[in-house]
Amino acid sequence: MLHLFCAAVTLSIGAAIVLAAPVPGGTWPTSQGRVSFAAVYVVESGQVFDGGMKTYDRSDITCLEQTESNVSTAVFKVKPGATLKNAIIGKNQMEGVHCEMSDCTIENVWWEDVCEDALSIKGGNASSVSRVIGGGARYADDKVIQHNGVVVDGFFAQDFGKLYRSCGNCKSNPAQRFLVMSNIYADLNVIQTKRSGKNTSIVMMNGNFGDHAVLPGVRVLL
């Protein structure tokens, strides 16, 4: 059964952002080949890495489920002002993609089997906004996106614990966080991951830090 809901609260960055990606149709892209890196690949500031819809993973790493890790086990590290687009993130990795200092763009990137996290957005300041446009992720034991300030538009998520999570305890960065999430298709009809139970969260935020979210057009398949 497909459910549609919208929610909105005041969000300072929302008025300046145009959301135009279509709602995903619930299908996954076909890989055009495979590339395995021996170390995290860095997309430098101002660069655009177009992956040509190939699958990218690590030759030296296998997924250890929810074992805590860091950027050294990611496939891509995307610096501020850089763009990663048209790529599929394979299973052999731990941390997927890191946007280390916020203000990055992740466009049409797909995580075929999320390990610890799919996308981690770190650092930045109160005005930092990263954008996730299109793409999708599936089979996430826990988090798909973890961030500081982010816009997610036209994203497909299938079988996950948390689609979006503001920082867990925020001990090192107890700041207010902002989220705009639109045109989202969340498929909860497939339960494949090893996470305990079947409880799922679309968005988890920290009210004690004044986190704000706008959620126009989130579709949930149960």
Q: How far apart are CA 18 and CA 154, in angstroms?
A: 12
The C-alpha angle with vertex 45 and arms to 32 and 136, in degrees rounded to 5, equals 40
Distance from C-alpha of 106 to C-alpha of 119, rounded to nearest angstrom: 9
At 167-176, the pLDDT tens digits run: 766 666 667 7
Q: What is the pTM of this model?
A: 0.84
What percent of the chain shows pLDDT beyond 90? 48
pLDDT of residue 196: 59
Domain ranges of the chain: 2-221
Phi, psi of 207 (to 5 degrees): -65, -30
Mean pLDDT in residue range 178-201: 80
For residue 2, pLDDT beyond 50 = no
Query: What CATH number should be reported for the domain whose range is 2-221?
Result: 2.160.20.10
Compute the average pLDDT of residues 152-168: 88
pLDDT tens, position by position, 58-85: 999 999 877 778 899 999 999 999 999 9
Instruction: Check pLDDT > 70 for residue 19.
Output: no
| pLDDT, position 81 | 93
Q: What is the pLDDT of residue 12?
A: 37
Q: Which two tokens stand for residue 23?
A: 């709602």
Summarize the confidence of residues 88-105 as an average pLDDT: 92
Confidence of residue 117 (pLDDT cuts 50, 70, 90): confident
Quote the tokens at residue 126. 């109160």
Q: What is the pLDDT of residues 28-41, one digit of tens each?
A: 999 999 999 999 99
Distances (CA, A) of 214 to 103, 121, 203: 19, 18, 11
Greater pLDDT, 2 or 46: 46
